[in-house]
Amino acid sequence: MVVAEYADLGAAVVALLRASAGVCALVSGGADGIVEGYDLDAQTLEAAQKARTPGQVLAVQVIDMGEVQGGGAVECDVFLNDRRQGFTAIRAARAAVYAAVLNKPALLADGAAAVMIKRRARDGQLYLPQFDLNYERVRLYAPLTFDDGADRYGL
């Protein structure tokens, strides 16, 4: 069996989200509307708003946050971005994101493995006035294990 290896948790989460038909159906542009890092700008959001169907968020943005807990775990943030639709589309997209990534493992570079992706926190409804953007941030984390047999998370 061939197992995909990802550079970091953010890359693994992007791949899981893009592979999820449930998530892609709720994002304007489908898998193309799921972006990594800071590859999101006002023009992209405007185009997504014009192209979307009701119930879709404008974009899902994943930002890798690196290692935490002395290198025993990794984190990433998932932003669910929308505009002028209330919070209904964001709630539906959040549920689909959870279904696509929670409790999944991921093989990471440098001999590390994310044991199981979990939800650490959720910010709730936020607003970014310069982009006229409603959004929610969900922080995901995963304990790490290493191919040297060390369990730096204490599991």
Cα–Cα–Cα angle for 155, 74, 81, rounded to 5 degrees: 135
**Residues 1-26: b if buried by 16+ CB within 10 A, e if exposed:** eeeeebebbbbbbbbbbbebeebbeb
At 42, is the pLDDT very low, low, confident or very high (cuts 50, 70, 90)?
confident
Nearest CA-CA partner of 26 in 95, 100, 93: 93
Name which CATH class applies to 5-146: alpha beta
The set of long-range contacts for 68-74, using a CB threshold of 8 Å and a minimum separation of 24, is: 68/141, 69/153, 70/152, 71/144, 71/152, 72/143, 72/144, 72/152, 72/153, 72/154, 73/141, 73/142, 73/143, 73/144, 73/153, 74/8, 74/9, 74/108, 74/112, 74/114, 74/141, 74/142, 74/144
> What's the chain's average pLDDT?
90
* Ranges 64-68, 108-112, 125-129: which has the least confidence: 108-112
At 85, is the pLDDT very low, low, confident or very high (cuts 50, 70, 90)?
confident
Domain positions in the chain: 5-146
pTM exceeds 0.75: yes
